[in-house]
Structure 1
C-alpha cells in the first residue's frame, strides 16, 4: 500500500509539472502574439512614414489620406507630440481579432500600454469604416478610431504607462473621443437607450466625451488641469 501510494504521489507530481509547463508555454505564446501580432502572418503590409499597417485584406491606395485625416485630429490635442510610430493591424473581425482582443472583443479597436500596437476590429479602409458588431453604435470612421487609439498613447506618454489604472475610464475614453471628433452614438441614440434603460458600452464613451468637453471649456483647454483634478 505504501509503495502504491508513493507511486500515485509521484505520478501526480509529474502530471502537475506537465500542467505547469503547458500553462507556461501557453502564456508565452499569448504574450508573444500580444506584443508581436506579426506572428499571425497578416498577408498585406504598407508603410506610411513611421506607421506600418498590417491587414488581412488588400490595402487601398487611399491609406495615406486616411492616415492624414487621423493625424490631423491628433495635432489639435495639447498632448500631441510628433515622431512616434505605430504598428496598426487591421483585421476582418475573425480569428485574428478574437485571439488578439481577448476581453476587448466588442470594441472597435484597442491599444495596450506595452507594445507599440493598435489592433482594429472588422475594418473597411476603402470606405474609412470599422465595425464592432453592435446593433446600435456599431460603426465608426476608421480614421476616427485610429485617432482615438493614438490619443491613448499620447495620454500614456504624458502621464505614464500606468495612466490606464490611475485615471478613470470616463476621463481617458472621453478625452480620446474629444480628440477623435465624437463617438459612435448620436445624441438621439444615447437618449433613446437611456429612455429604455438599456445598458450599452458606448454610453460610457458618450457621457465621458460630454463631461470632458465641459471640463476642458471650464479649464480654458488646459488638459493637464483636467487630468490632475480628476484624481484629487
Structure 2
C-alpha cells in the first residue's frame, strides 16, 4: 500500500510539473506559449497583445520574460492545477513551482472566460480573458521578484490588489469605488463578492494618491486597517 501511495504521489507531482502532455493544442505568440485542451483560434494573438498592454503598467514585468499559459476548458484540469482544488476559479498562478498560469474555460475569440456558475461573471466588462491573463502573470512576476514563497510573505490585500490594479489596465473608477467603500457596499468585500475591488482601491490609493513607489510598498506594506482608515477620511469628489 505504501508503494502504491508513493507512486500516486510521484505521478501527481509529475503531472503538476509537466502539464503539457494533457493539453493537445499549442501556439506561440511573442513571449507567450499557450496550451489548451481545445483548438486555439487565431484571435488569441489579440487577447495576448491586450494582456501585454496591461502588463506594461507593472513595475515587475519584463517583456522578454516567458509566459506559459494553459487554458483548462475541462473542469477537471482546472481542479488539478488550480491549487485550491476548485473548478470555480477564474485563474491560478503557480508561483512556487512551475510558474505556469492556468485559466478556466474561455471564449478566446470573445476575449472572455465562461462563468463557473449559472450567473454571469461579475464585472465581466472589466474582467476579460486578457485581464485574467495579466492578473495571473502579475502574480508570477511578483513571485520572480520576491521569491517563490511570496504568498506567505505578503498580505492578500497587497498581492491581489496589485494584480487587480495591473490586470484592469487603468479601467478602474477610483472615485466611484471610493463611494462604494464608504457606503459599505458588498462589492468592496472579497468575502461577499469574490471581487478584489476593495484591495485594488487600497493599492491605488497608496500608489496614486500617496505617491508610494511600488518597490517601497512591497518593502514595507502598511497595515491594511490603516489604509482603510485613510480611505474613510479621504474626501469624495
Both proteins in one fold, TM over 0.5: yes
Q: Is the 8 A contact 1:111 1:152 kept in 2?
A: yes
Partner in structure 2 of residue 39 of structure 1: 21
Q: What aligned pairs does 1:1-232 form with structure 2 within 5 A after superposition?
A: 18=1, 20-40=2-22, 42-103=23-84, 105=86, 106-113=88-95, 114-134=97-117, 135=119, 137-138=121-122, 139=124, 140-181=127-168, 194=186, 199-200=191-192, 202-203=194-195, 205-230=196-221
Are residues 198 and 172 of structure 1, via their aligned partners in 2, closer, same or farther at CA, if it must alter by over 3 Å? closer
Are residues 218 and 48 of structure 1, via their aligned partners in 2, closer, same or farther at CA, if it must alter by over 3 Å? same
TM-score by length of 1: 0.79
Question: Partner of 1:200: helix, strand, or coil?
Answer: helix
Partner in structure 1 of residue 229 of structure 2: none
Question: Partner of 1:89: helix, strand, or coil?
Answer: strand
RMSD of the TM alignment (CA)? Answer: 2.8
Cα offsets for 1:122-158 (capped at 9, x unmatched)? 1111100113414364553110100001101111122
Cα offsets for 1:196-217 (capped at 9, x unmatched)? x9943624x2211111111112
Q: Which runs of 5+ in 1 are unaligned?
A: 1-17
Q: Which runs of 5+ in 2 are unaligned?
A: 224-237
Between 1:206-215 and 1:216-225, the stretch displaced more is: 216-225
Cα offsets for 1:89-132 (capped at 9, x unmatched)? 11214222222225152221111121031111111111001134
Are residues 68 and 230 of structure 1, via their aligned partners in 2, closer, same or farther at CA, if it must alter by over 3 Å? same
Question: Partner of 1:21: helix, strand, or coil?
Answer: helix
Counterparts of 1:149 and 1:161 in 2: how far apart (Å)?
14
Greater per-residue helix proportion: 1
Q: Is the 8 A contact 2:90 2:132 kept in 1?
A: yes
